[in-house]
Structure 1
Amino acid sequence: MASRSHLKDGCTPPVDVSNTLPGLGCRCLPNQPCWPSADTWQTFSASVGNRLIATTPPARACHNPFYDFAKCWEIQRGYSEDTWRQLQPGAMTYTNWETYKGEGCLGTSNFLNPPCHQGAVPLFTVNASNVADIQETVRFAANHNLRLVIKNTGHDLLGRSTAPNSLSLWVHYRKKMEVVDAFVPEGAPQGTEGEPAVVIESGVQFGELYKLLDEHNRTVVGGSSPTVGAAGGYCTGGGNGVLSKRYGLCVDNVLQYKVVTADAELRVANAYQNQDLFWALRGGGPGTFGVVVEAVMRTHPPLKNIIKVHVTIVSLFGTAMDKIMREFLARHNQWGKEGWSGYAFNIHKIVHILKFNYYLPDGDLAQSQATIEDFVRYARSFLGVIILQSSVESLPSYLDAVPTFLDMPIKQIGINFIIGSRMAPQTMFESPTGIDALATAIKEAQQDVEDIKALAGIVMVFVAGGQVSKGNSQDTSVQPAWRSALLLPSVGLMWNDDVSYKDQQEIQRALTKAVGRLRAITPGSGAYVNEADPNEPDWQDSFFGANYPRLRQIKHKYDPQGLFICRKCVGSEDWDDDLMCPRLQSP
């Protein structure tokens, strides 16, 4: 366990707090009288099995005066790998969230030279191994008025699992899983029929879950990345995947949660008890209503034949790609009816690239080849267009398909990255006018981000429609726009570590402007809360729609003091921009 003296030997604090006085209800900061003493931290560490960690930035050993050749070599080897990052208590998948107002301790360039700042990396981390650890940490944070964050892998596109001057509750090593043939929610009436399910603890990742279920001849609605946590933020934000068209969103498949709320009580939430909390947890966003310690998810029969299509088209001329993109979008109405789903990427950097990996469970190989070849033939007809790849194959299981989901042009781990999304409704694809509007908005969004110090790309997530549209929005708190959507187009931006803070702010403004093109043509729709612009305007409506007022009521019921607060999360408008002090009035 490390005391405050250890912190003084580490990286510089993210903010100067020496002359800061705590306001009414403000979170306590280091160097303030309210901050726990070294003895208090020591006692707390003992109460959680001596699993309290003084957290340092993951690249610290590559910076003077902390440079260590052997440790730095290991950092350089793992820096851009999810498997390394998820094992570092202070690491995030996207490194910009480790920084605070431009200051941090990033390790991919200019080793030894830049100063090492704590940035947004928490000061302390509890490596929670059991529910009692989680409850004790919640009590400690509440009693000492500390900023508390919850983390599994750090795979969060809004940086909600880290914060400056915070205490982190790290649940990554809670890995128990159990496949159940007939799960009955606790508190259900006698005689309630059970259904196939899997019970998972809060540290389980989808790669681990997919492997277990494959061994038991089952599948589950899950994320495209195997390193994403399965029990927490993915599903509480809605959760979508390749199987969503067939089985719905993740929130449509959760049967029960066990969660530690702000009063440190362990509560069971399902259709028979704490129903309001169960509703809020299924779509109301991560890190908001408590700490999920266990989730029960409905499982489905195995898939023995998944058609996978991989197409990469390169165009030397923008006019040709404009027409190809419009035709690509126009075909989604029919492809959606046939059951296709997957991920597409459109990048303009010297040349224009359209790449997509689409999947059809239980599809016919010959018919699928004819469907895709018809589109490829259209694209090939333009001057200056090269078909780099066009393949159709049958995969024997869902587990075999998983590694191909995010076969993107550029690796997206250990980089600075932000994204903004907007749901395109099904009706937009039913008329030439709607298709033209979407194609134009995507083109204009690309133009908005051409002249900034970032690499830009359009990501199109084709997972809505089908069973997603049949889900009952009254049963979950997920953004109702999911039920009428077909495609989720997004704008993604990545930049190098040496980009100045001023230019980073310009990148963020450019993202908001670019996504605004999509907002303008989709009134009444919304964004996916887990893949959203960090500066999303009118975020309450964009993320939660008509569900927001009820979500606020439930938030106040279970967390009246706002212990669980995160960026653009339910109730966060009651706090200042740093989420450290409550506002006198909500904006």
Structure 2
Amino acid sequence: MQAPNFETYVFNNGTIDACYLNTSLGVPCSQGSVPIIGVNATTSEDVQAAVKFAVRHNLKLVVKNTGHDYLGRSTYRGSFIVWTHHMKNITYNPSFIPQGAPPNEIYDAITLEAGVQWYEVYDALEAYGRLMVGGSSVGGSVGAAGGWTRVDNVVEMTVILSTGQYLTVNTYQYPDLFWALRGGGGGTYGILTSVTYRTYASLPVAAVFFTVDTENANTTQALFTELLRITPQLSDAGWAGSGGVSNDSMYFFYIAPNVSATVANASVQPYFQYAANMTGVISQQTYVLQYPSWYSWYAQFYTNGTQNGANVLIGSRLLTRDVLETKYQEISDIMFPLGSVWDFVAGGKVSKIDSDSRYAGGKSIARVDTDLWRIFQR
């Protein structure tokens, strides 16, 4: 059994229906929560036919690309699955005009079918010297158009509704649905068959790598607390990335786009020096490197590995700048005992909402103007 959330089914009496990898247990291999039948969709017409079939026969319908859902919502016991993983078309268009838009509204864009994964997008864009805002995981498992959509950069979507109807939605066509689809949800409104994203010119990036091993938890927490304290300054300097902390170790790796090595070093050296002077540090490794493009950094660290998930629980918290500046010790006292892993979004980008994404059919949506950071605790 590799991923219990996807494969197992637990009855009310606690009995588990599953198929275990360890055959020595002597437990019969059962279906668990794995769908019993479905459609390997390769076109939008396949998805339409599958939806109509499910409606006609009153079937529980689930949708899966790579299955990158920690809660296992891309599977269900006794269900009928629409598998979009082999919808792999990628179309780059430097002069994309959304349907119904005025002719002068032009985007340098890329259209991805539902089965395309982020590593495939990045490989395609590199050939054009472009990049886009996306996601990353070791081995590239995350879906780009049917999984983790980057809503502020979406220009247009195609979707199959529960009626089987095929729609192209954007700011000009079905704007309410376009707005709703960018709000997420497990197939709440329909099945996406493609997403069109804005792209951007490729940029060089600076990267910082920090690891430390300590003699005790007090030393580690002091280092973690100081990192929290300077997070607003690191954000102002353009850094973003991930990190993790346990009782006797801590690490983080951040990148900053279009930042010189001199500026990058100046912004992180004070923290490096703070750690070097800390009593109880056993070993410390620090690097600041320059990469000619974001893709070259990504290719070094994310293109190797297996495309298999893990069983984790993610909790998302938004922290205002003033909280980080004044209550960093309290935040540390909460996060440190959890053995947290965090993702750091720089520059308050969580709150800087594109004007187009704030409207649903002409109705303005309230925006948050405070700088925020997103911290994921796993």
Matches within 5 A, 1:16-415: 94-101=3-10, 102-107=16-21, 109=22, 111=24, 113-189=26-102, 191-225=103-137, 226-235=140-149, 250-303=150-203, 305-348=204-247, 352-403=248-299, 413-415=308-310
Counterpart in the other structure of 1:488? 374
User: Following the alignment from structure 1 to structure 2, what is the Cα–Cα distance between the partners of residues 373 and 209?
Assistant: 35
Indicate how the Cα distance of structure 1 residues 177 and 480 shifts in structure 2: closer, same or farther if over 3 A, else same. Answer: farther
Matches within 5 A, 1:395-474: 395-403=291-299, 413-431=308-326, 434-444=327-337, 446=338, 457-471=339-353, 472=355, 474=358
User: Following the alignment from structure 1 to structure 2, what is the Cα–Cα distance between the partners of residues 371 and 377?
Assistant: 12
Contact residue 464 and residue 482 of structure 1 kept, 8 A: no
Counterpart in the other structure of 2:13? none
Indicate how the Cα distance of structure 1 residues 111 and 362 shifts in structure 2: closer, same or farther if over 3 A, else same. Answer: farther
- Number of positions where the alignment pairs a residue of Structure 1 with one of Structure 2: 365
Counterpart amino acid of residue 287 in structure 2 = S
How far 1:277 sits from its partner (Å)? 0.4
- SS of 2:95's partner is strand
Indicate how the Cα distance of structure 1 residues 396 and 146 shifts in structure 2: closer, same or farther if over 3 A, else same. Answer: same
Kindly provide the CA deviation profile for residues 155-191 of structure 1, in whole angstroms up to 9, marking residues without a partner as x: 11221211111111001111111111111111123x3
How far 1:386 sits from its partner (Å)? 2.8
How far 1:412 sits from its partner (Å)? 9.4
Q: TM-score, normalised by structure 2?
A: 0.89
> Where in structure 1 are there 5+ consecutive unaligned residues?
1-58, 60-78, 80-93, 236-249, 447-456, 493-587
Counterpart amino acid of residue 6 in structure 2 = W
Kindly provide the CA deviation profile for residues 310-358 of structure 1, in whole angstroms up to 9, marking residues without a partner as x: 111112211111211110001110111111100111123xxx2211110
How far 1:415 sits from its partner (Å)? 4.0
Contact residue 343 and residue 405 of structure 1 kept, 8 A: no
Counterpart amino acid of residue 470 in structure 1 = K
Contact residue 224 and residue 405 of structure 1 kept, 8 A: no
How far 1:219 sits from its partner (Å)? 0.5
User: Following the alignment from structure 2 to structure 1, what is the Cα–Cα distance between the partners of residues 159 and 179?
Assistant: 13
More helix by share: 1
Contact residue 70 and residue 311 of structure 2 kept, 8 A: no
How far 1:483 sits from its partner (Å)? 6.3
User: Following the alignment from structure 2 to structure 1, what is the Cα–Cα distance between the partners of residues 352 and 23?
Assistant: 52
More strand by share: 2
Kindly provide the CA deviation profile for residues 254-279 of structure 1, in whole angstroms up to 9, marking residues without a partner as x: 00000000000001110001100000
Counterpart amino acid of residue 79 in structure 2 = S
User: Following the alignment from structure 2 to structure 1, what is the Cα–Cα distance between the partners of residues 210 and 257?
Assistant: 18
User: Following the alignment from structure 2 to structure 1, what is the Cα–Cα distance between the partners of residues 151 and 262?
Assistant: 34
Indicate how the Cα distance of structure 1 residues 412 and 137 shifts in structure 2: closer, same or farther if over 3 A, else same. Answer: closer
- SS of 2:335's partner is helix
User: Following the alignment from structure 2 to structure 1, what is the Cα–Cα distance between the partners of residues 366 and 318?
Assistant: 11
Indicate how the Cα distance of structure 1 residues 382 and 481 shifts in structure 2: closer, same or farther if over 3 A, else same. Answer: farther
Between stretches 316-325 and 328-337, larger displacement belongs to 316-325
RMSD (Å) for aligned C-alpha atoms: 2.5
How far 1:111 sits from its partner (Å)? 4.6
Kindly provide the CA deviation profile for residues 295-320 of structure 1, in whole angstroms up to 9, marking residues without a partner as x: 100000111x2111111111221111
How far 1:417 sits from its partner (Å)? 2.8
Q: TM-score, normalised by structure 1?
A: 0.58
- SS of 2:297's partner is helix
- Percent identical: 36
